[in-house]
């Protein structure tokens, strides 16, 4: 009980309240449009959190996130063609994405820094070609002729997909919190600062980098699979596409790389942009690219960085926390 109370800072209370509102929103009759944007928010958030774990906290600038979400998506889609229910496909897909992460870890983990980035960039490109050629189970033609309709979704409610995505997003945030407060988080910080020194101190750098890579593959896979269940079909060109990487990167960088709250704020902005730019879809990558570069140059720590430097914000939070602490002691 004491433990619970001590955790009851104003921040946690607000977060708890927001999550509860988000949970009841579909049954409380939230407009379908909202649910849709929130669904995207949850999916992007889970992915952004995982990229932050890799690039921000582990020094792994991974450009192969589309591989994980695509593999999981394809697993769901192909699964439904051999009568595997979609929810089982999501879990199976995430596991396959995890196994795939372990497999590609062998080549790409021999690389560091910039080499790692470009090594991982190759992976989704190769997968796109592979899925154009490879069609193990029968399916209707979609997109580039290599796509799949996801079957058996007729009686799936929007709210079911929404809750699944919400669950994944919350899980991704909780996992981040757990990792950063664990010994793993410490080891990652050591590696990021100096891999060679960490290795000579007896840190198993391969293993310790593999954990975040694996976790990010599984969670990104889950989120991707849910996205494709929502979309109802999958095809290689748009799946193994750098546009996914761009969304994930942008959300993390706008909010603040290497900050826990960054991806949340960044994802809100990305979804909002998506909403605003819907009419200018043809220009969206251009605009996103400009924003990405501007943020990186002007405020490398993103919006969280700006807020941290604003005394006003700091003062308010200190005041609020003190009030709450006083209230508790009384």
Partner 1 sequence: MTDVGTLVSPIIMGILLGGLYALIALGLSMVFGVMRLINLAHGDLVILGSYIAFACMTYLGMDPILSLVIAIPVLFGIGFFIQQFLMSRAFAISAEAPLIIAFGIALIIQNTNQIMWTPLSRGLTTAYSLSSFHLGSYQFPLSYLLNFIAAVVVMLALREFLRRTYLGKAITAASQDRRAAQLMGINTKMIYGFAFAIAMICAAIAGIFLGMTFPFTPTSGIQFLIIAFGVVIIGGLGSIFGTFLGGIILGLVQTLTGFFFGPATQMLFIYVIVLVILAIRPKGLLGR
Binding footprint of partner 1 on the chain (CB under 8 A): 55, 59, 61, 63, 104, 106-108, 110-115, 117-119, 121-123, 125-126, 129-130, 132-133, 242, 245-246, 249, 253, 257, 282-286, 288-290, 292-293, 296-297, 300
State in angstroms the smallest separation of the CB of 112 from partner 1: 8
Closest distance between partner 1 and the C-beta of residue 155, in Å?
A: 37
Q: Which is nearer to partner 1, 164 or 284 (CB)?
A: 284
Tell me the three-class secondary structure of the chain, residue by residue: CHHHHHCCCHHHHHHHHHHHHHHHCCCCCCCHHHHHHHHHHHHHHHHHHHHHHHHHHCCCCCCCHHHHHHHHHHHHHHHHHCCCCHHHHHHHHHHHHHHHHHHHHHHHCCCCCHHHHHHHHHHHHHHHHHHHHCCCCCCCCCCCCCCEECCCCCCCCHHHHHHHHHHHHHHHHHHHHHHHCCHHHHHHHHHHHCHHHHHHCCCCHHHHHHHHHHHHHHHHHHHHHHHHHHHCEECHHHHCCHHHHHHHHHHHHHHCCCCCCHHHHHHHHHHHHHHHHHHHHHHHHHHHHHHHHHHHHHCCCHHHHHHHHCHHHHHHHHHHHHHHHHHHHC
In angstroms, what is the minimal distance from the CB of 315 to partner 1?
28
CB of 236 vs partner 1, minimal distance in Å:
12
Q: At closest approach, how far in Å is the CB of 252 from partner 1?
A: 9
Comparing CB distances to partner 1, the nearer of 17 and 129 is 129
Nearer to partner 1, 29 or 282 (CB): 282
Which residue, 84 or 210, is less far from partner 1 as judged by CB?
210
Residue number, 85 or 107, with CB nearest to partner 1: 107
């Amino acid at each position: 009980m004491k433990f619970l109370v001590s955790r009851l800072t104003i921040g946690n209370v607000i977060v708890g309240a927001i999550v509860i509102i988000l949970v009841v929103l579909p049954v409380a009759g939230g407009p379908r449009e909202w649910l849709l944007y929130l669904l995207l928010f949850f999916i992007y958030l889970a992915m952004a959190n995982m990229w932050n774990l890799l690039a921000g906290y582990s020094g792994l600038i991974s450009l192969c996130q589309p591989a994980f979400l695509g593999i999981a998506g394809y697993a769901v889609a192909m699964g439904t063609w051999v009568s595997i229910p979609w929810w089982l496909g999501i879990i199976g897909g995430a596991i396959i994405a995890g196994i795939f992460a372990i497999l590609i870890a062998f080549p790409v983990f021999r690389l560091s820094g910039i080499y790692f980035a470009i090594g991982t960039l190759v992976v989704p490109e190769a997968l796109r070609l592979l899925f154009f050629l490879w069609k193990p189970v029968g399916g209707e033609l979609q997109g580039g002729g290599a796509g799949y309709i996801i079957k058996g979704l007729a009686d799936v409610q929007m709210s079911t997909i929404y809750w699944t995505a919400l669950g994944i997003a919350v899980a991704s945030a909780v996992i981040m919190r757990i990792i950063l407060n664990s010994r793993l988080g410490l080891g990652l910080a050591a590696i990021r600062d100096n891999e060679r020194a960490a290795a000579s101190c007896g840190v198993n750098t391969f293993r310790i980098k593999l954990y975040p890579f694996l976790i990010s593959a599984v969670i990104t896979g889950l989120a991707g699979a849910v996205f494709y269940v929502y979309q109802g079909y999958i095809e290689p060109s748009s799946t193994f596409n750098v546009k996914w990487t761009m969304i994930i990167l942008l959300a993390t960088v706008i909010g603040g790389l290497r900050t826990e709250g960054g991806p949340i704020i960044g994802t809100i902005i990305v979804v909002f942009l998506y909403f605003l730019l819907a009419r200018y879809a043809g220009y969206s990558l251009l605009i996103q690219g400009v924003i990405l570069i501007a943020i990186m140059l002007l405020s490398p720590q993103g919006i969280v960085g700006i807020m941290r430097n604003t005394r006003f914000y700091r003062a308010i939070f200190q005041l609020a926390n003190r009030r709450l602490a006083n209230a508790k002691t009384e």
